[in-house]
Amino acid sequence: MRQDHSWMSTTLKARFTQFQRDPTEHFAVRLRQLRAEQLRQLLADPATVTLEIFNQEVWPIGSVMVNGRTIGDLLNMETRISTAQLPELTAALDQGKFEIHGNAMWGSGSRIYGSQLKESTEEKVQYIRQALVILNNATLSITKGTAHRRTSRIWTQYLNRLGDGFPPSRVCDL
């Protein structure tokens, strides 16, 4: 069943078709889907998320390792994948030999959550857990304002970015 794409410009349709047919883009989407699933699992129980885990696995852009070899961050890796590398990287992905840390979407200058906040580590962890409770609650309708108020000083931009890795039914209007 084909979807109605009549609202799209011809240029956009052509670019989207090109994107869908590009094996390198398909591979990049698979990597992002893998990391989104890993983050969903890691963040499913807010009570288990510590500041150390958050700073290593969520807050920074992160890094990618393949077969124990550091490749770099996911954003740079996606732009540097050559057609010649694709079979090896695809095989490593299929075999579970990719290790990804970080959110793979954006990074902060400090690479540490709340580095400028005067709050204690415990308070910072509480902010993080408040945000995760909201993001994990399938029954809440979240707006930017609500999420920002409910999480005190948690970062609205990060909620926007993290929302990309959560199902649309869980994040509304972010």
Q: What span, in angstroms and rounded, lies between the C-alpha atoms of 32 and 10?
A: 27
Q: What span, in angstroms and rounded, lies between the C-alpha atoms of 20 and 155?
A: 33
Query: The pTM is what?
Result: 0.70
For 106, other C-beta atoms within 10 Å of its C-beta total: 16
The pLDDT, as a whole number, for residue 110 is 77
The pLDDT, as a whole number, for residue 157 is 43
Residue carrying structure tokens 């124990």: 68
Query: Domain range spanning residue 62?
Result: 11-163
Q: Is residue 2 a part of any domain in this protein?
A: no
DSSP state of 43: H
Q: Is residue 145 a part of any domain in this protein?
A: yes
Task: Specify whether the backbone of 119 is left (phi greater than 0), alpha (psi in -120 to 50) or beta.
Answer: beta
Q: Per-residue confidence of the chain (174 residues) as pLDDT tens digits? A: 666 766 667 888 888 889 889 998 889 889 889 999 999 999 999 999 999 999 999 998 888 899 888 888 777 777 788 889 899 999 999 999 999 998 877 777 778 888 888 899 999 999 999 999 988 887 776 554 555 454 444 444 444 444 445 444 444 433
What are the tokens at 33?
């889907």
Tally the residues of the chain: 174
Q: Is residue 91 a part of any domain in this protein?
A: yes
Q: Is residue 65 a part of any domain in this protein?
A: yes
Q: For residues 71 and 65, is the Cβ–Cβ distance under 8 A?
A: yes
Q: Is residue 3 a part of any domain in this protein?
A: no
The pLDDT, as a whole number, for residue 8 is 67
Letter for the amino acid at 60?
P
Q: Is residue 6 a part of any domain in this protein?
A: no
Q: Is residue 97 a part of any domain in this protein?
A: yes
Query: How many folded domains does the chain comprise?
Result: 1
Q: Is residue 172 a part of any domain in this protein?
A: no
List, in sequence order, the alpha helices (H) in 44-120: 51-57, 74-80, 86-94
Distances (CA, A) of 123 to 111, 127, 131, 147: 18, 6, 13, 17
Distance of CA 24 to the CA centre of its chain: 19
